[in-house]
Chains A and B, each alone.
Chain A
Amino acid sequence: MTRQPVVTRRQLLRVTGLAVGGGFVAQRLSTSRYAAPAFAQTASTRPLRVALPGEPSFMNPILVASDRNFAKVSWNVFDSLLGYDYGARRSTPQLATSWRQVDPTTWEFKLREGVQFHRGYGELTAADVEFMVNYVVDNNKPLKFLYFFVKGAKATGKYTVQYSLSQPFAPFLLTTVRDRGAMIVSKKAYQEMGEEAFSRTPVGTGPFELSSWQEGTEIVLKRFAQYWQNPLPHLDEVSYRFITDTVTRESLLKTGEIDFMDNPDYKDVERWRRDPGFAVTSVPSWGTDYMPFSVTTPPFDKKALRQAVAFAVDRASLAKSFFFGEAEADPGPLPRGYLGYPSPAIYPLGANTAKAKELLSEAGVPNGFQTTALTTAQFKPLAEVISGQLADVGIQMSVEVVDPGTFNARTSSKKFEVAVVNLAFMTPDTDSTAYWFYHTDTVGNYGYDNPTIDKALEDARATYDQQKRAAMYRSILTTVLPDAPFVYLLHPNIIHIYRKGLQGVPGYPQEYAIDLRNATWT
């Protein structure tokens, strides 16, 4: 009797083929689970698939100073002490139900009772707020950049917490205890997990709980059933897919791989508007596209040359032709509704080439001069258009494109002449458009040094009377804008594009805000 092999080669091939094929099919099924037709799912179980231009660094508000991808997800995982009414422009209750100023340097917050943390970490109490604030202050964590003059916090009851400041700080409510400044994390979870693990599996009180994070691919959130704002949220599942390229994001939206994206190419917005399958929200942002100068180095150490640029750029044309109307031209820094708005009208919306040429002559370069604008890939086209506008008065501006890390290093060490970039204001207080850029001791200042302005900015942030503050900011801008340490261009719109049937995603003027707590499919 010949001995038969246990498995013949043919059988082996067949089995291997099945296994490989089956694995492939299974993988296709699992990766394309969202491609299942939408009508097969009920409204509440249909997931929402959001495209993000990149991956959040950490899902931990304590460790993040500036990360737009974190910011976009964070709104749905964490709540802050205070909310903000973008229409009425005032603070609203969120985790804190009421607040009062005990004395000029002490603020007291009454917390909402019965607010639960994700993953069964129990009820939010004053101890959590106290822990987070003191942890950030004592360990100098990145979040401290919003904690101006905060000495620490103290729980004075189970639901009462007091912040103490080292000096009066008028922007406190809008800057330090709303949005990113006070997204409260669970003390117990933070201490049990440790910082690193917490940053991957965050525990907040927001409408959604982080369910999975596949590095480099997507973050999936699931509905948090014990969310305090019952019956919110409406959606069962939200996923964020990281897709860097704008063209790819737009084509995935078109083909049905994703449902929601922001920051499309401006030229495409009109086409999306005409597409019956999609809806578009477009709101002028608080952010400003602007040109900072290195004011201590040639050529822009000459004020007249900076002013010449300010008069030579055609903001109205940029908004109309380059942003296709999806922007608001503005020669001043103040977004709509900020204290002191509108900015003093020092420069025109269009170009004043005669005035610009006059300034060039005054500076001794009637035929113009050469300069190089530093920018990142995102703002290269804008910089090129500006270069074309400046060429009309003889200013030859070439464009140097560097990666964002190099950009920050070069600008903070003043190794540039002029830059083209966007400012995104995280807080609706004018302090963030003025102090953060005009005061000599801030990172947004590239050499502008005016002791009178320094003093005025310090006084303005220490003044609680809003009417007095408005007048103070107006007088600050009346001095700073003619000195032109920055040329302001426009407020680009924040644009959301999403599949028809999605409702309840408000368009806020604040950048990086995708608020899904009210979102629902109809």
Chain B
Amino acid sequence: MTPIASVHPAHSALPGDARRVRSEWSLGWRHLRRNHLAMIGLVVVVFLAAVALAGPDLPLPNPLTQHMGLQAAPPSAQHWLGTDSLGRDVLSRLVGGARASLSIAVGAVLVAVSLGVPLGLVAGYFGAWADVAIMRWMDAMLSFPALVLAIALVASLGAGPGSVLVAIGFVNIPVFARLTRGAALAAKTESYVEAARALGASDARIIVRHVAPTAIAPVTVQIGASFAVAIVVEATLSFLGLGTQAPNPSWGVMLNDARDYITDAPWLVFFPAATISVTVLSVNFLADGLRDALDPHYRNE
């Protein structure tokens, strides 16, 4: 079995192949490290994730505590980024918002991957009616603009972070399904798959051990891209009042609250907007870097 597996580039299951496979990933990592933008993105993303995780334990004021009489105050020693329309600390609310936004984005991408990847594998590997049934359904979903579909879903599920997570995850399923289907279509005609079949491996075993691994690199890259989109969509839905509900903080909610203060206290708009931009930009840098690093085609350039 070993010689068959050795022609399979991303196969990690077989012991004799381990050294070569690890070098594939470490090659990618070496390439990624040389990409400055991607490293900046990685640092920012790791920092944000750490802040979001540590959130409530950080020595910051309670993001829900109102200071009436100290409304829309400019940045000061006490409130580093000022206070919002109800006198709440903007920095604590940004941190609280990071927790809300990132956890929804992570959850949504998990939903999309865990449903989209199996669907794509089944469609690509089995072809025929399974392919038609699954992919036409995916095409139908893709024919709606993602944001409109998400709004419709949240409207029918009821506003709230849970609905937003499900909605964003749901609208991202087709992207992963298509991507995985493409990889599966290419892999299933490879000689190592034919060999596995000839050796009597079941369809399930072939899909899991021989076909699925070929999709890991493109799916990893897509996870990054979808994550950035999920953050923007989450902020949009919260801005529209469909996501995180007051008084809990969320970047989109903060932007909406700040709208009326754009002339009096522009920093109330600036900070959440800048946070969203920096986060999305960093995730995109990282995703771009991952694509360059994991795709041999780009890596050689």
**Partner-B contacts on A (CB < 8 A):** 246-247, 251, 265, 267-268, 317, 320-322, 377, 380-381, 383-385, 387-388, 391, 398-402
Contact = CB atoms under 8 A, between A and B. Distances in A.
B176 to A, nearest CB: 32
10 contacts: A246-B260, A317-B68, A381-B86, A381-B257, A383-B246, A385-B86, A398-B246, A398-B248, A400-B245, A402-B159
Nearest to A397: B247
Contact of A384 (B69, B246, B262): B246
Contacts of B68: 317, 320-322, 385
Contacts, number: 55
Contact of A267 (B66, B245, B259, B264): B264
A381 B88 CA distance: 12
Given A246-B260, A247-B260, A381-B86, A321 B71 contact: yes
Contact of A381 (B65, B85, B159, B241): B85
B246 A380 contact: yes
- Minimum-distance CB pairs A-B, first 10: A321-B68, A388-B66, A399-B246, A401-B241, A384-B247, A384-B246, A387-B247, A321-B69, A398-B245, A265-B260
A381 B68 CA distance: 12
A380 B256 CA distance: 11
A402 B257 CA distance: 16
Given A388-B64, A388-B247, A401-B246, A247 B71 contact: no
Nearest to A388: B66
Nearest to A324: B71
B86 A388 contact: yes
Interface of B: 64-66, 68-69, 71-72, 85-86, 159, 241, 245-248, 257, 259-260, 262-264
A247 B246 CA distance: 21
Nearest to A398: B245
A400 B244 CA distance: 9
Given A267-B260, A380-B246, A399-B246, 5 more contacts: A267-B72, A321-B69, A384-B246, A385-B66, A385-B68
Given A317-B68, A321-B68, A384 B245 contact: no
A457 B65 CA distance: 42
Contacts of B241: 377, 380, 401
A399 B247 contact: yes
Contacts of B264: 267-268
A410 B257 CA distance: 24
A493 to B, nearest CB: 18
B262 A398 contact: no
Of the listed residues B71, B86, B247, B264, the one surrounded by the most CB atoms of chain A closer than 10 A to its CB is B247
A246 B263 CA distance: 13
Nearest to A247: B260
A401 B252 CA distance: 14
Contacts of A384: 66, 86, 246-247
Contacts of B64: 388, 391
Contacts of A268: 264
A286 B84 CA distance: 30
A384 B246 CA distance: 7
A321 B70 CA distance: 9
B259 A247 contact: yes
Nearest to B88: A388
Contacts of B248: 398
B69 A399 contact: no
Contacts of A388: 64-66, 86, 247
Contacts of B85: 267, 381
